[in-house]
């Protein structure tokens, strides 16, 4: 079902993981995708997979000239922007007492400030026409996490910003929602999932579904929120975590 046929979408952080899965799924559903990333090699592997009107843009979301670069790239796509997926971000971090102010600023610059700017651009281009924005937050925006002071702060702010924009621009036909993924197997997390025993015990053994998620599963949730089936949903943060946030408990012996 080509539910995004002819619509133009931007996906940031599109070269790998959740962003890549989202860009490919949007293209498969008929969208004109502008895939944005700073990884030249991985972004190049999307060439030819985004359809005849798909585009890639090599840039960093913290680039001061980002808006101009995006507008120039969109000029070659006939349909106006109607979907924006803000996925670009970084992870990692430590406890509050081992996190410097510069570490916090770096995390916020990438995970929050750049997303803020992208939302400004999206709203500007969608006004008068309507559209949908989906931000990628994190389950850590809602659940306390060890050694994650700066990251959790940045993603909590993303969730709050999502609700605020939904309030301000809903009257103009712009919907904005967010997804809050749990542990997803991406290039950023794959090695840690299989080598860190504590991570497996917490996120797999204590999860109702007993597994980690896949990028395609988050991409499907993103497309739902961006698409017509979610036409009356705005300001929501959808957990995509296999039930981990509501079902954390020790694995019972009889379930082994």
Q: Are strands 81-86 and 174-181 parallel, antiparallel or unpaired?
A: unpaired
Reduced to 3 states (helix: H, G, I; strand: E, B; else coil), residue 145 is coil
- Sheet holding 55-58: strands in order across? 55-58, 32-37, 8-12, 81-86, 131-136, 174-181, 237-240
Residue 161, φ and ψ in degrees, nearest 5 = -60, -40
Strand partners, 165: none
DSSP annotation of 98 reads G
**Region at 87 (left for phi over 0; alpha for psi -120 to 50; beta for the rest):** alpha
Comparing C-alpha atoms, which of 40, 60, 167 is closest to residue 118?
60
DSSP codes joined into one string, 171-230: GGTEEEEEEEE-SB--TTTHHHHHH-HHHHIIIIITSTT-S-B-HHHHHHHHHHHHSGGG
Contact 86, 137 (CB under 8 A): no
Q: How many CB atoms lie within 10 A of CB 145?
A: 16
Of how many residues is the chain composed?
256
Where in the sequence numbering do the catalytic residues fall? Answer: 151
Q: What does DSSP assign to residue 143?
A: S
């Amino acid at each position: 079902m080509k539910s995004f046929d002819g619509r133009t979408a931007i996906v940031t952080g599109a070269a790998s993981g959740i962003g890549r899965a989202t860009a490919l799924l949007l293209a498969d559903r008929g969208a004109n995708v502008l895939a944005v990333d700073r990884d030249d090699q991985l972004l190049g592997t999307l060439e030819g997979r985004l359809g005849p009107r798909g585009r890639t843009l090599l840039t960093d979301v913290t680039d001061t000239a980002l808006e101009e670069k995006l507008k120039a790239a969109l000029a070659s796509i006939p349909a106006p922007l109607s979907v924006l997926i803000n996925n670009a971000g970084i992870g990692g971090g430590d406890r509050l007492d081992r996190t410097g102010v510069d570490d916090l600023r770096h995390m916020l610059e990438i995970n929050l400030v750049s997303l803020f700017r992208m939302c400004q651009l999206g709203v500007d281009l969608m006004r008068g026409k309507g559209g949908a924005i989906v931000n990628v937050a994190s389950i850590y925006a809602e659940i306390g996490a060890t050694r994650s002071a700066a990251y959790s702060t940045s993603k909590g702010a993303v969730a709050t910003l999502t609700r605020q924009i939904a309030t301000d621009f809903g009257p103009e036909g712009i919907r904005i929602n967010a997804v809050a993924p749990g542990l997803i197997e991406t290039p950023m997390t794959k090695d840690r999932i299989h080598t860190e025993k504590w991570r497996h015990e917490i996120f797999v053994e204590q999860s109702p579904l007993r597994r980690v998620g896949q990028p395609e599963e988050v991409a499907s949730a993103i497309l739902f929120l961006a698409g017509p089936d979610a036409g009356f949903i705005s300001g929501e943060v959808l957990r995509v975590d296999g039930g981990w946030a509501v079902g954390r408990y020790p694995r019972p012996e009889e379930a082994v």
